[in-house]
Structure formats: C-alpha cells, structure tokens
Amino acid sequence: MWYESLMINETLDSIEQAIHNAKHPVDLIVCLNSQTYIEKPDTGIIPENMFNEFLLHPILQNATIIKKTDNDTFYNIGD
C-alpha cells in the first residue's frame, strides 16, 4: 500500500539478499497499490508519488510491476 512506502527499501534489500542466495531462478512480482478506499491521504499527498521512495531499487529492474488504482476494483493483501 502507498502508505507503507517508507519501509519498502528495507524489505527490498531483504528480498534481494534472499534471491542472491536462492538455488533456483526467482520471478519477482510487485503490486503497487495506490487505492484510497480505506485509507485517505493527507491533503496534497498523491499516493502514487510515494512509490518514488523505492522504485529505483535495483531488485525491481527485472520485476513484473502491477499497478492498482481507484479505477480498479478493491484490491487488498488477501487478493
């Protein structure tokens, strides 16, 4: 979710290390969910812009990135 963007670099570092130590090829699929159905951003904050905190992480170079916005049906971790 967009509001968790500040902690994602640490998570991506961990994933990068795990992939580095994997014995088999790994496909990384990331969903960038900027939906605001449940959590509303403060005035002036654009959820999609918060992804800029981590989008240049090297592990994402070969990742498949899926984007979910308010134009899509509700999407959450259960999906």
Domain ranges of the chain: 1-11+25-79
Q: What does each C-alpha distance from 58 to 17, 28, 32, 36, 52 come to in angstroms?
A: 12, 12, 16, 28, 13
User: What pLDDT sits at residue 22?
Assistant: 95
pLDDT per residue as tens, the chain (79 positions): 566 787 899 999 999 999 999 999 999 999 999 898 888 888 888 888 889 989 999 999 999 999 999 999 999 877 7
- Which SS3 state, helix, strand or coil, does residue 66 take? strand
User: What pLDDT sits at residue 73?
Assistant: 93
